[in-house]
Amino acid sequence: MKDKILFVGYLVAVFVFAYLFWHNKVAWDPCAYKMTGKWLLGENTYYEALRAPVPSLLYAALGFYGYILAVIALFGVAVYTYARKRGIDPLLFLALIIPGLSWPYIAETGSEMLSLAFLLLGAAFSDSIYAGLLFAMAFLSRYAFAYFIPFFLPWKRYLKDKKLVLSHVAGLVLPLTLWSAWQYFAYGHPLASYIDFLYVNSYLNPTSVKIPRFDHLLRVTLPTTLLAVPGLNVWTGTMLLAALFFAAIASVQWPRFYVPALLPLSLAAVRVKWPKNFKYALLTANLLAAALIYQSFSWDSKELYAGIVESLDTNCTYVSNVWVPIVCMGGPAVPPPPGAEGDPAVKEVYINQLKAGYMAVVLKGVGHPPYMEELDIYVENNIPVKNFGRFFVAGDGCIPPENLWSKPKNAWDFYDARLKRVISR
């Protein structure tokens, strides 16, 4: 009974942390998920086709606080169920799979936790006919976690039970087919979301083979990484290598991309025979680490973006390097012109937009795209700039923010062209 209370209490602490996070901060990905979900449901707002549908729709339906509460609850059920099915201590497994240092990165999007919840439920019920559906939900919660699924499929059972194979294939195919149909209706192409995901991650921001950022790994996963070393085996070691590879090939190795490594690390660490009361010490250390790291993060972005939105004329359209948070806070912002990073033609398109009547609002220190923060390009083109301290507004035109978020007129040509660029890369 004591462990069950601590199990629930730990999850409550994670939710409180996430609540405080959202009370003071506007994070990019959750805003994009929420607006994409609203767009999928018929609202005329900004959307990113690359976003997976399950978190998008849940964010739209439940809001930020409702979403994170639902996800944490589902994750708790998944961890407890998987642990009991595999003969693992649930409290120890929970403390290992979401250590205190990982809480800010989990709160930042929530899609990692949602995908891992479905993955663990699929693994817990891998011998049932419903596992395929659960694994499909894991994929549709976060496309990048697709590589985890083969590690949890019951391959030995497949050799003996062909009906189980068929049920799992059907469970995987059915939701993916429904999502493709929805993509065709919403975006005009049945593979639009997948193509955009690949396009943004491998063309606009080219991927390359790099050495993993072990400092980021430790920043997110301590102490689980250290505890996992004596318990690593071929299964967890191979899974860890896959997680590190996909984190390392990202164009920018954000610490959040190392959250997936917590799955194989925690599965390795939980195999080690620890002292009887070790889990309580680990739980206490996690809570102290979360309390300390909370003080080290910047939590003022909500106030900052509110100030930006207040300075804008809502009757005009603003090109911005932080368009997602601005739209999320109710401002009329659009993304910079699309194109590969560093392409001089993209900068020219941007300047022509301002000359044609668009305004620009630029947050300093973002660095993406870098040309937006270069004050010389505004001076050279006689574009007025008004400085507001942490951001500036450029231009003196005004184009009304109307019908900005319609899908491409020739969606098949648009997405097929993007797919060709991805393949050529």
Please tell me the predicted confidence (pLDDT) of residue 186. 93
Question: Which pair of tokens denotes residue 323?
Answer: 């368009």
The whole-number average pLDDT for the span 403-424 is 89
What are the domain boundaries of the chain?
A: 2-296, 301-394
- The larger pLDDT score, comparing residue 217 to residue 205, is at 217
340 pLDDT above the threshold of 80: no
Tell me the C-alpha distance between 127 and 129, whole Å.
7
Please tell me the predicted confidence (pLDDT) of residue 272. 96
**pLDDT tens per residue, range 244-267:** 999 998 877 889 999 999 999 999
Find all residues with CB under 8 Å of 364, minimum gap 6, and list them: 373, 390, 391, 392
Asked whether 382 and 159 are in contact (CB, 8 A), the reply is no
Asked whether 184 and 193 are in contact (CB, 8 A), the reply is no
Asked whether 25 and 299 are in contact (CB, 8 A), the reply is yes
User: Among the listed ranges 128-132, 224-228, 333-337, which one has the minimum average pLDDT value?
Assistant: 333-337
Please tell me the predicted confidence (pLDDT) of residue 296. 73
Please tell me the predicted confidence (pLDDT) of residue 339. 67
Please report, rounded to a whole number, the percentage of residues in the chain having pLDDT higher than 70: 98
How would residue 424 be classed by pLDDT, with cut points 50, 70 and 90?
Answer: confident
Tell me the C-alpha distance between 256 and 358, whole Å.
34
Question: Which pair of tokens denotes residue 386?
Answer: 């008004």
The whole-number average pLDDT for the span 52-73 is 96
The whole-number average pLDDT for the span 384-391 is 95
Please tell me the predicted confidence (pLDDT) of residue 163. 95
The whole-number average pLDDT for the span 218-229 is 96
Q: Are strands 359-363 and 333-334 parallel, antiparallel or unpaired?
A: unpaired
Please tell me the predicted confidence (pLDDT) of residue 109. 80
Calculate the CA 171 to chain-centre distance: 24
The chain-wide mean pLDDT, for the chain, equals 93
Question: Which pair of tokens denotes residue 355?
Answer: 């000359």
300 pLDDT above the threshold of 80: no
The whole-number average pLDDT for the span 189-205 is 91
238 pLDDT above the threshold of 90: yes
- The larger pLDDT score, comparing residue 424 to residue 282, is at 282
The whole-number average pLDDT for the span 413-421 is 94
1 pLDDT above the threshold of 80: yes
- The larger pLDDT score, comparing residue 303 to residue 269, is at 269
Asked whether 97 and 79 are in contact (CB, 8 A), the reply is yes
Tell me the C-alpha distance between 288 and 51, whole Å.
34
Find all residues with CB under 8 Å of 179, minimum gap 6, and list them: 53, 140, 193
- Helix 131-141 to helix 111-124 angle (10° resolution) is 170
Residue from 293, 302, 328 nearest 14 by CA: 293
pTM of the model: 0.93
How would residue 72 be classed by pLDDT, with cut points 50, 70 and 90?
Answer: very high
* 250-260 b/e (C-beta count within 10 Å ≥ 16 → b): beebebbbbbb
**Full DSSP string of 340-408:** -TT-HHHHHHHHHHHHTT-EEEEETT--SSGGGG-HHHHHHTT--EEE-SSEEEE-S------S--PPP
